Every structure is written in structure tokens, then in C-alpha cells.
A and B are shown apart, each in its own frame.
Chain A
Amino acid sequence: MDQNRGNWYLLTGLILGLLMGIVYSWVISPVSQVDTHPSLLRTDYKDIYRLLISRAYQANNNLPRAEARLNLIGDDEPALALAAQAQRFLAEGGDHEMAVILANLSAALQSREAAENPPVQPTGTAAATDSPKNTEENGENNPDNPATSTQELVSSQTPPPTESPPFILQDSSPICDPTLGESLIQIVATNSSGDGIPGVAIQISLGTDPKDIFYTGLKPELGLGYADFSAEPGLTYQVDILDSGLIISDIEVPTCQNESDESYWGSWEIYITHPN
């Protein structure tokens, strides 16, 4: 009886010690938080990191370097992450210039991807992939030589991400499409080959009162040259393709009728093209 009781005490001691050890190592003195990787950064710091990469790209125009840096953050599709951040930035009333900088890098990645794989991915998904070469360049999995990320990146000069204006108006007309679900002013910018052009800045005004600025290419799943704006029925809008002098006026949400003769608000479609 006494012998059995002694064994239980031993087990209790072991369990108590185990619990104390785990509490100490997890709560009181956990493994210190140093030498971390950019992919572990908190979301707001990732935003700061992405913006810094975009600004550095704006300064050096080095797309491979920007791409290698973006790969460190670990986004599945870096171009989409940049576009989403630009949209968030604008939605939160952030600096337009910063949104443009983010959008430009996103557009550059998408343009390159579209150029590399036009038949497979016509809408241009993100270019950045975690290829073994990139991984090696980033210094990931290579702790003995972590600086290779910077020193081996090529200083190649890449062309500007967007084609220069002016644009020509191809079509501007009301459309009735009940599948859209809301009234939109949709803009599609293409080049002479019919390929979408990302990064085109568009200003929307109520009458002549500037209301918002947005960019093509921020919804790459709908096409590189696509952009839209939620319009309210009863208002008259003006669309200004910035830096091109092209202004499209008198845009209003049309009234449409479905097959059951029920009315609903339609949308407006604008097609612009770059002649070169």
C-alpha cells in the first residue's frame, strides 16, 4: 500500500515538473524573438515593407530586385497583394501618390507576366513565383550566405510599366447587365493590339468636381486594362483620363428593364485605346 502511494508521488512530481517547465519555456521565458524572416511580419509591417519595395522600385526601376524582395514577404501572388494594398490605401483615404507607386509595381509585374505567358494567362496573374533560383537569390535556405539577395540581383533597367498617353475614345455607352449587381462605370484601356494597359490613372468627377482617382489593373482578374467605379443613379459623372487630355462627359446610370419588364439600374462602359 505504502509502496503504491510512493510511486504515485513520483508521477505527480514528474507531471508537476513537466507543467512548470512548459509554463516557464512558453510563457515566462519563451524563445527570444530575433532573426526573423519578413514573411512573419505583422500585416501592417508587411504593408510598410511592400510600400518600401515599391518606392525603391520607383527609384531604381529594377524589377528583378523588387520581385525578389516581394518574394520574401511570402504573398501567394505579389502583384495582387500590391494591387489590393493600393485599393485599401485609396479606400482609407490614403495618399494617392503612394497608391500609384504600389499600382505601378503591380502593373509592372503583371505586364511582364502577360508578356511572358499571353496565351495561358491573358488576364495576367502575378509574376512572382518562388522559383528555386529566386529562393537562392533571396538568401532563403542559405543562412551561411544571407546577403546574396542583394549582391546577386541584376541591375537591369526595365521599361516603364505603362504606355504613355494620349488615349483615343473608342466607345462610351450605357449598358444593361443585370449580372453586375451594382451600377458601375467600367473603363477598359487597351493598346493597338487589344492588350489591356494597367496603371492608367482615371479621375472621376461629379460635374466638374473631382471625386476620386482610380487605376486600371487593380482588378487583374477582370483584365489588365480594366477599372471600375460604383456610380449612383441620378448623378452626372465625368471621366478624365489623366495626363492624356481625354475627357468623357455626361455619364449617367441608365434605367434598364429585365425580361419580366422590371426596372433596374444599369452601368456605363468606356473603351479607350492607345494608338501605338
Chain B
Amino acid sequence: MLLLGLGLGLLYGWVINPVSYQDTTLDTLRIDYKTDYTLMVAEVYHQSNDLDWVMNRLTLLKNESPLHTIEESLKFASQAEYTLPDMFLLRDLHNALKENN
């Protein structure tokens, strides 16, 4: 009976009424939102050329490194068939970060 109760408790806590999250952080965003976030950073960088600011913003996504973040975003953007101008913006930022490394 203990095991049955345990199973029912887990079912309730994980499936029927799991912990609902509020107040999340940027690093938990789904990959498409993360990619759009990165694209916004790329759009701003295209105008400002401020790599320090870029690093600061991308660090909030808590990946291995900002360069890794851009690489993930480029991969997703390519799979999701982003428009060419957006791909160029991401690629330009990727190149700038690579040169800076």
C-alpha cells in the first residue's frame, strides 16, 4: 500500500498538479525565445558595434559562453528557416565574437 500511495503521490505531483513556475530567469527560455533574444542582441549590435554590451546580455542566458549561445541560435534559426537578413545579423555577431575570442 505504501508503494501504491507513493505512486499516486508522484502521479499527482509530477503530472496532475506539478509545481507551476513563475519568476523564471532568461536561461530557462525555450530555444525559439532564446534565439529571438539573441537576434535582438544581434540587431542592436549591428547598430552599436558594442561587443562588451553584447557579452553582458548574452551571459544572462548562462550558456557555456556567448559564442556557444550564438552558435545554438544560428543552428536553430537555420532549422526554422529564419529570413536571410536575420541570419546575416546572427552570422555577423557570431563572426565578431569569434574574432574577439
Contacts and interface: CB of A to CB of B under 8 A. Distances in A.
Contact of B36 (A9, A18, A69, A155): A69
A71 to B, nearest CB: 12
A36 interface: yes
A17 B8 contact: yes
Contact of B5 (A13, A25, A35, A55): A13
A212 to B, nearest CB: 26
A31 B23 contact: no
Interface in B8-30: 8-14, 18-19, 21-26, 28-30
Contact of B33 (A17, A18, A38, A56): A38
Contacts of B57: 48, 52
Size band of the A side of the interface?
35 or more
B69 to A, nearest CB: 14
B24 A25 contact: no
A155 B85 contact: yes
B43 interface: yes
Interface in A14-62: 14-26, 30-31, 33-38, 40-43, 45, 48-49, 52-53, 55-56, 58-60
B21 A24 contact: no
Interface of B: 1-14, 18-19, 21-26, 28-33, 35-37, 39-41, 43-44, 46-48, 57, 60, 76-77, 79-83, 85-86
Q: 5 closest Cβ contacts across the A-B interface?
A: A21-B9, A17-B5, A25-B13, A147-B80, A146-B32
Interface of A: 9-11, 13-26, 30-31, 33-38, 40-43, 45, 48-49, 52-53, 55-56, 58-60, 69, 72, 139, 145-147, 149-151, 155
